[in-house]
Structure 1
């Protein structure tokens, strides 16, 4: 934002000059007309006055344009940063926070920064520049009016601080209410099919109505404070200008002040208070964005505390292919206060198909999440002679995680190969064959969350995505969580053949499963 701040300072200076020039030339024209000067004699002042009007219009437009561009740039940078931070924090953090709250933060939360950069910050810059210069201009012409301004001006910031403190508290509640509303609505939409099956969908109306009323109440509190703030600031400014006008009028009658000076000061007086009043008014427009940005910086600080994946920044083809076994040395994983995996040590050799088996809740999926770096763990996880990184893993979880778009686009998600590249098409075809998904049309368009496929088809598309990554990047580790849970016996047998082929090609294949056929096909069961 440095460039925007510098440009805002320059535009604020030009706008202040146009305000002073406008007041000066209006007073010259009025006093000249009263003195009986002709139109020709006043034409130069008319032209200068028109130039001041155009200059002020230009500076106002330029400030709006610059602030809009600055807001877009900042929002873009913050979104990229916070999404990278969320990626580093992993799914466990997102699950604890809630996907609706995260989406609200990254979407409408950051959009609210438009009010901060588009309205509040430009007005703050203008106030910092215009107010002292305008007071100086008044002082050079009439020290008494400048004294009145100097005494009255601090009253407005005092009211702004008092009202601002109250505004921040209610704005925080409004922001929390919006996040609760988003989460509640997402929960209802996500479980609507189940609710409808059991005839309970109408019971959610009261819950949504309660949360919505809470948000409406908090919003009205913010609006009441906004209107109160505007009224107080306008009243303080108007009374101050009225006091200056009365003193100027009395001194004009007494002959202590000339009409030109009195008129000049009287025109400038409202302009002194206007930027300060506007800062207070625009503070409310900026409050949403400031509340959201505070949470954004909390996310970034949490993400910065996690060591960066050094290999993630390197291009896939530039990374050395890791060779050697995958070792777990005294690995422990906690979920909150619960110890899920306790001091596990194991070794997985390249070219082997290993199966993690056990009862539900015994920590199989948690161990995979630890290998992926999605949950914090203790102990060491190494591949060959270095730490295991996500860039060396291809994986498919229990949830297919498909999005809207074509089946091919979902399979090649994150690929470095551009759409239309023959190699990309070849890898998609080979991956679908390995995932026993050749019967699915790769150009078939999916809806939201991959709608348009059966459970088994969605699972095979997710497996094809893992196979695609394994083939394109040559990842040495292939992790699959319950890959055949939605498959029939024949399809499962063909998939096991693909997993055996991947292991024979040198991959470390680790599968979470309790299916008898998968256990029977394994080289090792842990």
Structure 2
């Protein structure tokens, strides 16, 4: 677990401002600490020397470089001003960190949600819904402690510690040498304790994921559990998961408290070692009193940042763990999308090159020895067929043969492991699920169009036999308010609207009539026939005989024998 993950700067630009402004305020605070220590040490010296003059045995360099009583007022005012500047700088760092945490969380959530929104609908791996909700919700909220507690101390450690160690070294080389020798002990302890913290934190986070998943499963199946009287067993299961999470949390707290004790002990011993050497030389008169007090006042400030950064790090490990999972979500989706888009771009370029030299009657949609794999196993292919302009082709085959998978490869949702798909852009498509949203019927038909064409919406609805539906009628969540057959025809109307509005050369539909009666199915088939007659290449995945009869020809897809495959995309 890294103290600071550079990916924060990549995916949350607000983190850069937090670091830059925080570093500047940390430098100001360090200067104030130096000024405060110097003014206070010399003010105490100015007050103490008149008293010490009457004590027998006081001699040597005790009064070397001391200020007189006349400068006492200015020294005290300087110390007071330094305290105010230090307080304001510290307050400013806290404010910048707190506000930065809000912006960073928002940017990370936005990046993760964008990645999830752009991921393939055919994704067969990755975190579940419960894990995503936990990571993007409570997990990222834990970054508040990381930014408000840990980041300011980390900045002070990086900015203040070198300056303060250098100041001690210049003021008293012997004390500075001792600090340099003993100082690395604390980072070593921090690394060792950090490894232990990472182990217990990972176990706690895994347990929280299991608890979230268990609770989501129980809520989803609550009605079924009550019907069969099995709810008590699930209550016991949730109780066990909760108790285990409580135990994991206490383990994290135990390590946190022990780490704080160890770091404080190491820092205290280091300060004590320097204090003994300074005190010994002061007693023997080998060291100026003002300089000795300056070193002693500066020593705690030298060790405080690194001691506090260790304690703050342990308090913010949950946020770091969640951020790591959010980064994994963003990067995994980016990688998958990049691989699919690269494959898709190669295919489209090949299609464009072919289209530049071929006559208009040539196939605009072509599958050449295409094979697709799922979870490392080939599920379809090699398959080859083509769809010409003005042709209506039905794709048939047993359930599970890979028809929808081939469509997913055509749309770029998955990348073929072998072969090539040639197709123009854009493609108009309707899937097996209508995918209706809350809003008007017209908005659902023209989904994705910033300037909907009301005339095309009405034409698309009429084409699929929905003349009686009012485009202004509102649908509920997931298209509530219309029947399953009507929802399916609205999805087909959406595909027609896109084809007309964008002048798509290819129209692809996956089981567009599975929920329709014979009369409605005939209307949809007639609409598809008209699209083919208009010069489009129409590909329909269907088990229905009526669709097969309406098609110019039927392509049969046979399920592939499962064979181990290797990653990669064929040329």
Structure 1 range deviating more: 336-345 or 36-45: 36-45
Given the alignment of the two structures, is residue 376 of structure 1 paired with residue 426 of structure 2, yes or no?
no
- Secondary structure of 1:156's counterpart equals helix
| Distance change in 2, residues 1:135/1:339 (3 Å) | closer
| Distance change in 2, residues 1:434/1:144 (3 Å) | farther
- Secondary structure of 2:409's counterpart equals helix
| Distance change in 2, residues 1:68/1:23 (3 Å) | same
Partner residue of 1:393? 427
C-alpha distance in structure 1 between counterparts of 2:93 and 2:240, whole Å: 42
Length-normalised TM-score, structure 2: 0.76
Which of these residues, 529, 538, 561, is aligned with residue 500 of structure 1? Answer: 529
Given the alignment of the two structures, is residue 91 of structure 1 paired with residue 125 of structure 2, yes or no?
no
C-alpha distance in structure 1 between counterparts of 2:327 and 2:400, whole Å: 37
- Secondary structure of 2:394's counterpart equals strand
Partners of 2:438 and 2:474 within 8 A in 1: no
- Secondary structure of 2:420's counterpart equals strand
Which consecutive residues of structure 2, in runs of 5 or more, have no partner in the other structure? 1-8, 10-15, 51-66, 349-354, 556-571
Partner residue of 2:235? 205
C-alpha distance in structure 2 between counterparts of 1:47 and 1:443, whole Å: 74
Offset of residue 409 of structure 1: 4.6
Partner residue of 1:295? 328
| Distance change in 2, residues 1:338/1:262 (3 Å) | closer
Partner residue of 2:169? 139
The count of aligned residue pairs is 508
| Distance change in 2, residues 1:274/1:432 (3 Å) | farther
Which of these residues, 207, 224, 238, is aligned with residue 177 of structure 1? Answer: 207
| Distance change in 2, residues 1:231/1:280 (3 Å) | same
C-alpha distance in structure 2 between counterparts of 1:34 and 1:329, whole Å: 94
Partners of 1:111 and 1:289 within 8 A in 2: no
Partner residue of 1:358? 397
Alignment of 1:51-450 (within 5 A): 51-67=81-97, 90-93=120-123, 95=125, 97-105=127-135, 108-109=138-139, 112-192=142-222, 195=225, 200=230, 203-284=233-314, 285-286=316-317, 287-293=320-326, 295-296=328-329, 298-299=331-332, 300-308=334-342, 310=345, 324-336=363-375, 338-377=377-416, 378-383=418-423, 391-404=425-438, 407-415=441-449, 417=450, 421=451, 423-437=452-466, 439=469, 442=472, 444=474, 446-447=476-477, 449=478
| Distance change in 2, residues 1:292/1:327 (3 Å) | same
* CA offsets 1:73-92 (integer angstroms, 9 cap, x no match): 66566556555655665233
C-alpha distance in structure 2 between counterparts of 1:497 and 1:154, whole Å: 80
Partners of 1:67 and 1:118 within 8 A in 2: yes
| Distance change in 2, residues 1:376/1:254 (3 Å) | same
Partners of 2:441 and 2:472 within 8 A in 1: yes
* CA offsets 1:12-31 (integer angstroms, 9 cap, x no match): 32221111112122223333
Length-normalised TM-score, structure 1: 0.82
Partner residue of 2:34? 20
| Distance change in 2, residues 1:329/1:11 (3 Å) | same
- Secondary structure of 1:478's counterpart equals strand
Structure 1 range deviating more: 430-439 or 350-359: 430-439
* CA offsets 1:127-186 (integer angstroms, 9 cap, x no match): 122112111212222333323322332221111000111122222233333333444444
Structure 1 range deviating more: 67-76 or 350-359: 67-76
Which consecutive residues of structure 1, in runs of 5 or more, have no partner in the other structure? 314-319
Partners of 1:350 and 1:508 within 8 A in 2: yes
Which of these residues, 456, 459, 470, is aligned with residue 499 of structure 2? Answer: 470
C-alpha distance in structure 2 between counterparts of 1:170 and 1:289, whole Å: 14
Partners of 2:124 and 2:374 within 8 A in 1: no
| Distance change in 2, residues 1:477/1:187 (3 Å) | farther
Structure 1 range deviating more: 459-468 or 105-114: 105-114
C-alpha distance in structure 2 between counterparts of 1:26 and 1:452, whole Å: 77
Structure 1 range deviating more: 52-61 or 452-461: 452-461
> Once superposed, what is the RMSD of the aligned Cα atoms?
3.7
Partner residue of 1:316? none
C-alpha distance in structure 1 between counterparts of 2:511 and 2:234, whole Å: 33
Partners of 1:116 and 1:290 within 8 A in 2: no
Partner residue of 1:317? none
C-alpha distance in structure 1 between counterparts of 2:224 and 2:393, whole Å: 36
C-alpha distance in structure 2 between counterparts of 1:179 and 1:483, whole Å: 38
C-alpha distance in structure 2 between counterparts of 1:348 and 1:334, whole Å: 23
Offset of residue 355 of structure 1: 1.9
* CA offsets 1:495-520 (integer angstroms, 9 cap, x no match): 33333333333332222222233233
- Secondary structure of 1:483's counterpart equals coil
Partners of 1:88 and 1:306 within 8 A in 2: no
Which of these residues, 526, 531, 542, is aligned with residue 513 of structure 1? Answer: 542
C-alpha distance in structure 1 between counterparts of 2:391 and 2:288, whole Å: 98
